[in-house]
Amino acid sequence: MGAAYVRSFYRYVASSDREILVAERGAEGHPVAAAVLSLEPATLNRRLLLRTPLLMSALGRLPRMLPLLRGAVRGRSVELPAVLPQLILIFTAASERGKGRASALIGELERRLRQHGIPRYEVRTESDPANPALEFYRRRGFEVAGLSVRFGTPFQIFTRAIETRQST
């Protein structure tokens, strides 16, 4: 969506009390991994439309997005609404992968969810056997909770229970 929109997205989620943004910094102090969890995913798109230049960015990129949109309109959607808090994005810079950074982000998000008294959350990732994130979630105790199809692309829904008892 362009660098300006991405900046305003991160500014919004960093200031929102309905989203949790966590990041890992590399040796030079720059963020090398980040994750965003929404406590209210059902309203996030509407809030982004109202509080960021999402619409303007989308309109500005319409010519480039038209082929994607055509595919999207043709593709079937059987989208299950998110009813749990949702991990909406997580990534690690390619050069920093395999060092436990995303695992650390998940640990930090779960610590924050525990403080909110939230017992379970979900994440959706493309249900393509070539997607390494599927194994990443499976190995971290995420449980398969269904399939959601967005514009013809199937997404695996995983949920994970938060251990609420603090270890001593």
| H or E stretch at 44 | helix 41-51
Q: How far apart are CA 28 and CA 1, in angstroms?
A: 27
State the angle between helix axes of 3-15 and 41-51 in degrees (0 to 180), rounded to the nearest 10: 120
**44 close to 66: Cβ distance less than 8 angstroms:** no
Under rule CB under 6 A, which residues in 4-23 are in contact with ligand COA?
none
Under rule CB under 6 A, which residues in 24-83 are in contact with ligand COA?
33
| One residue of 26, 91, 114, 118 binding ligand COA per CB under 6 A | 91
Query: What minimum distance in Å lies between the beta carbon of 136 and ligand COA?
Result: 5
Q: How far apart are CA 152 and CA 73, in angstroms?
A: 9
Q: How far apart are CA 96 and CA 110, in angstroms?
A: 22
Query: What minimum distance in Å lies between the beta carbon of 153 and ligand COA?
Result: 13
**51 close to 45: Cβ distance less than 8 angstroms:** no
Nearer to ligand COA, 60 or 133 (CB): 133
Binding segment for ligand COA among 55-63, 97-105, 108-116, 156-164 (CB under 6 A)?
A: 97-105
Q: How far apart are CA 120 and CA 117, in angstroms?
A: 9
Binding of residue 92 to ligand COA (CB under 6 A): yes
Binding of residue 160 to ligand COA (CB under 6 A): no
Binding of residue 151 to ligand COA (CB under 6 A): no
| Site residues (vs ligand COA, CB under 6 A) | 33, 90-92, 97-103, 123, 125, 132-133, 136, 139
